Amino acid sequence: MATIDFDNVQKSYGEVHAIRDFTLHVEDGDFCVFVGPSGCGKSTALKMLAGLEATSAGSISIGGRDVTELGPGKRDIAMVFQNYALYPHMSVRSNIGFGLKMRGQDKADINRKVEAAAETLELTSYLDRRPRALSGGQRQRVALGRAIVREPSAFLMDEPLSNLDAKLRVQTRSEIVNLQKRLGVTTIYVTHDQVEALTMATKIVVMRGGVIQQIGSPDTLFAEP
Ligand code: ADP
Ligand code: ADP
């Protein structure tokens, strides 16, 4: 668990100011949703937090530690993408354990963590399957499994439900919320879907044209005055 801070972060791609004057404090254990129309800078903000894009100016801290100059592997975060990014030729077990293996963790340790994650996500009976033999919702859970085995300080999720059909999206939404509550891991979640923001977030950041328009809770933000 960790706090997350953006301090006056800017990002330009040539002439395009993708993010301007981005200042935000996220509390330990918050489920913080960045919401806004396509092109408003949500992914750019998330990628800078992940270390996948450099900032043009300003600083970013995770757990009070300035990570602005650190690479993605050094930030103690785990990212979940909309396309799941699973390895097709690997079993569910290997997919979930891959990040730990890359870090040189002990085999028995990895197995124990993978099995615990699989149990949490109700994937135990699918551990020996390949991703192609899973449903969309199950693949999504494998992607989550990959993130939780790492025991990171924060989860970063970029439209993780956008490839699911409407019914499964609603179901997976509450699975993610419950999982996050149970683990208490600070989460930044990007979506263009206002309903998703309202039903999942403890804190909502409304973005438009590269700037933060409003910050609030689901109760206060869109309530009639
Ligand atoms: P969102 O995630 O809200 O859809 P993005 O963060 O992807 O928005 O994009 C914000 C702005 O930055 C857009 O105008 C987009 O075209 C621009 N942008 C994003 N990535 C790049 C890039 N690699 N090169 C140039 N412009 C980019
Ligand atoms: P890390 O935080 O080190 O990226 P991961 O478990 O996410 O941990 O990935 C381990 C390595 O595999 C990293 O170098 C990452 O860039 C790479 N990787 C992860 N997912 C994919 C993918 N779908 N395709 C190609 N490379 C990937």
Per-residue confidence band for 223, with pLDDT thresholds at 50, 70 and 90: low
The helix/strand/coil state of 132 is helix
Per-residue confidence band for 165, with pLDDT thresholds at 50, 70 and 90: confident
Pocket test of ligand 2: the residue of 102, 105, 151, 157 to mutate, having most ligand atoms within 8 Å of its CB, is: 102
- What is the DSSP code (8-state) at residue 133? G
**DSSP-derived pairing of the beta strands 77-80 and 154-158:** parallel
Whether 75 shows a pLDDT value over 90: the answer reads yes
- What is the DSSP code (8-state) at residue 160? T
Whether 150 shows a pLDDT value over 60: the answer reads yes
Q: Write out residues with Cβ below 6 Å of ligand 1.
A: 13, 16, 18, 36, 38-44
Question: Identity (one letter) of the amino acid at 162?
Answer: S
CA of 41 to the centre of ligand 1 (A): 6
The encoded tokens of residue 177 equal: 């919320």
- Average pLDDT (129-157) is 93
The set of long-range contacts for 103-110, using a CB threshold of 8 Å and a minimum separation of 24, is: 110/149
Q: Where are the alpha helices (H) located in 91-165, listed in sequence order?
A: 92-102, 107-120, 136-148
Residue nearest to atom 22 of ligand 1 (CA): 13
Q: pLDDT tens for residues 79-111?
A: 998 777 899 999 999 999 998 999 899 999 999
Pocket test of ligand 1: the residue of 16, 40, 156, 189 to mutate, having most ligand atoms within 8 Å of its CB, is: 16
Q: Which ligand is nearest to the CA of 149?
A: 2
CA of 50 to the centre of ligand 1 (A): 15
Whether 178 shows a pLDDT value over 80: the answer reads yes
* Residue 103: how many other CB atoms lie within 10 Å: 10
Residue nearest to atom 26 of ligand 2 (CA): 85
